[in-house]
Amino acid sequence: MGVLTLSQYQQLFSQAAHRGDHESPPVRLTSGITPGGTLSIPDSLEVYRRGFIVRLTESLGEIYESVWWVAGDEEFFRLAKTFILSQPSEAYNLSSYGQEFPDFLQAMPPFPDLPFLPSLARFEWLFKNIFHLSQHESVSPEEIQRITQEGNLQFIFGPSVSLFSAPFAVYDLWKVRGTCHDGQPPVEWDHEQRLLLYKKRDQIFVNELDDVEYMILENLLGGSTLEESLTDTARQYPNLEQEQISKLFQIIFHTGIIHRLSTISEKPGAP
CA distance 231 to 228: 5
For the ranges 23-27, 82-86, 131-135, 231-235, the lowest mean pLDDT is seen at: 23-27
For the chain, the domain total comes to: 2
Q: What's the pLDDT band for 180 if we cut at 50, 70, 90? A: confident
Q: Which DSSP symbol is given to 237?
A: -
Q: Check whether residue 260 and residue 148 sit in a common domain.
A: yes
CB 14 within 8 A of CB 88: yes
The model's pLDDT over 29-57, given as tens digits with 9 standing for 90+, comes to: 555 556 666 655 565 555 556 667 888 89
pLDDT tens-digit map of 90-109: 665 666 789 999 999 999 88
177 and 200 housed in the same domain? yes
DSSP letters, 55-107, are HHHHHHHHH-HHHHHHH-HHHHHHHHHHHHHHS----SSGGGTTTTHHHHHHH
Q: What digits encode the pLDDT tens for the residues 158-172?
A: 999 999 999 999 999
* 188 and 248 both lie in a single domain: yes
- Same domain for 157 and 260, yes or no, is yes
Same domain, 73 and 27: yes
CA distance linking residue 155 with residue 196, whole number of Å: 15
> Domain range holding 126?
119-271
Domain boundary among 52, 83, 112: 112
240: Cβ–Cβ under 8 A, 6 or more apart, which residues? 212, 230, 233, 234
Last residue of a domain, one of 92, 112, 132: 112
Mean pLDDT calculated for residue range 162-191: 93
Mean pLDDT estimate for the chain? 82
In a shared domain, residues 154 and 243: yes
